[in-house]
Structure 1
Amino acid sequence: MSMPSYIINWEELLEILGDKLEIDINDIDLSDLENYLVEQFETIIDLLKQILELLKDKGVQRIHSISNHIPAVVAPFKFTTTFEEDVLITGITYSQSAWKYQDSWNLEVDGNLLFEEIGTKEIGESKAMNVFYYVPAGKPINIIFHNDSGNSRLVWFDIEYIDLSMSNYIPTPKPTGIIVVNYITEDRILIDSKTLTGIAYGSHIIKPEDIPGYSLVGPDRHSVRLSDIETTVTVEFIVKNEELPPINNPYDWLVVMRWEDGSSADIDLHCYFDCNSNKHVYYSERELVIDEENKAWLNYDYTRHGANGRQDEPEIISILGMNNYTSNIYITNYNKGTIEENVTIEIYKREDNKDVRIHTATIAPSQISEEKTIYVGNIKNGEFIVIKENVPYEQRNLNLSSCRV
């Protein structure tokens, strides 16, 4: 794209743009100015966009119509109107039911003659205002029709204007884009994806969310920019599996509970089998042996969490066999502590000597803070069944009235 060649007065143009372009007029050879402006073209366009941004969305486009019968009398006829709000007149369209070349009309605003003796035409005509004309509220707008031919007819005048009243302001929606946030492993496996819609154009800092069962490797934030050129942006956060502490007994299932770092809340994990209070694994009964092929253990229990407690101090119950039983999973807030972040219950199944996570139940802080107990779900017939409902609060022997076999 080349610069237009019809700029007449370079010095005046530079006086307008000089401080924006950071140039010294005295140091420029005006014979080379066009080349310089070509080099600064993007800066000029950006400046013009800023000006347009200031001007747009400042009112509502409207039309006010006047129509009247002109009798067969040689005389001027005045039509007067006013607006209750400040307006900018942008143009006038007029037409008539019959035409005579002798006739004309004037436009007068608050005593100022803007259009003078505009000859009528055989067809309707629009007059656009190259410079919008500001009219304060209540100031008279007069259209004077000179019926010099003495013929009768109907005339129409449409006053096109911008209503500057804020009460009538209809804002133009700001342009928005989309940010796609992907969570991937170091070997490029997609773990989770979040799509953020309705994000305003401009720069944004995107921080990762907690993905249950995974910890962040990097980075810890992304800076992105949405614009007309790039309306959708994708960012990636690298995560890894949260490591499990060693389990020193054989097992088929693991129930792993994690909660926030640096917490004084003592969240306890419980497991009943077939809703039987005598078949109960928890902090006071850490091992249950039915026979050599059906056992359960509370492998890890914590009364509080350290600075890296979510990762390093999960509470864990392991289950061996128990295929003919329903494993009922509960959690309770033993010391009625306050929780500010989600608690997660991860269910792992042992397959091919690997721990395969088959479900993560997320418990909101409001569900477990203070005096709360939750029936999380059941392991039954090789599957995990989510229940996740609050039950009457207990610290030790939990309320099994809603327990399901």
Structure 2
Amino acid sequence: MRWATYFAVLASILSVGLALGVSMPLVSFRLEGWGYDGFAIGVMAAMPAVGVLVGASVASKLAARFGTPGLMRLCLWGGALSIGLLALLPSYPVWLVLRLLIGVVLTVIFILGESWINQLVVEQWRGRLVALYGCAYALSQLSGPLLLGLIGSEDDYGFWIGVGLLTLAPLLLMGRDGAPSTEACSVTFKDLLGFCRGMPAIAWAVALFAAFEAMILTLLPIYCLRQGFTADIALAMVSTVVVGDALLQLPIGALADRLSRRSLFTGCAVMLMVSSLAVPLLLNTLLIWPLWVIFGASAGGLFTLSLILIGERYRDDALVRANAHVAQLWGIGCLIGPLAAGAGSQWISGHALPLFMAAGALGLVILVSRQGAFGTEAGTGG
């Protein structure tokens, strides 16, 4: 196994997580300070989802033309430019376009990076090494809000840190090999429907986790502010959710190499449903802090197990296409989640965010109980 390449690809993706973690909450705080309501902030949070759908459809075709390493470098530099323009052009309509562009380029990075990692790892280590990717990425996102809390949200330093990270990250990919080969073809929504019919539980889980992550970075700080917490406490709560996502991914990945992956998957779905329902009940108690950890861990576990199950079944172009479908589902989740939670918090309930996650988790629990939810093969560890 090419360990140096694995860690180089991992580090480049971590730079994206840190860049997003330090810049995306800053966007929400700016909009809140400008007087925009929850729905307008939700629309801004959902814009990258449209870019995700575009990026997913062209990633395989562009990778066949430029090569996986070359295309990842170009997209990292494109992300740096887009985040820099957020700082230089503080305008709601302009930011909508920039968030769209960020969604396109970062989607291509994630599709190719996750495919590259899953192609590199050996089967007996798949659970642990894919979980290490999930854990490290979550920690990079955790570091973003923490760093933003240290440098403050009044200035644009968070944007410029993101620019620096995405400018330097492509250098790590120079001279690396072992990337999956791809064919010059587009991934359509018809193909996505076939993927969803073949692996419905994984499809639902990916979309649900995408909605979760989009809301955590953008709407959870606003949710906490509107429940009476200060900006510092709101950022700490966001970070605690991401800590939960990060810390338990490695144990989940280790178990996935030894136990039934379907049972682990079902357990995470049940835990996410219960923890989501408990958030409004425990929000103003000390128990909310360990609950945030469970909330994040259960959601992150679903995504990690989904990547593991995909990686054990696909190789090369099929693997890239499967991850493109993951990106399409990610875009759908990112689009629906913030819009539904933002509208719900404004017009239905102030606790719409956790209630939306509880409803999604309930749907997943029902789905995994049905035969064929994970495809034709059993989802067990190697």
Question: Which has more helix, going by share of residues?
Answer: 2
Give the TM-score category using the shorter length. Answer: under 0.3
- TM-score, L = length of structure 2: 0.19
- TM-score, L = length of structure 1: 0.18
Higher normalized contact order (CA 8 Å, seq sep 6+, divided by chain length): 2
Q: Which has the larger radius of gyration?
A: 1
Question: Which has more strand, going by share of residues?
Answer: 1
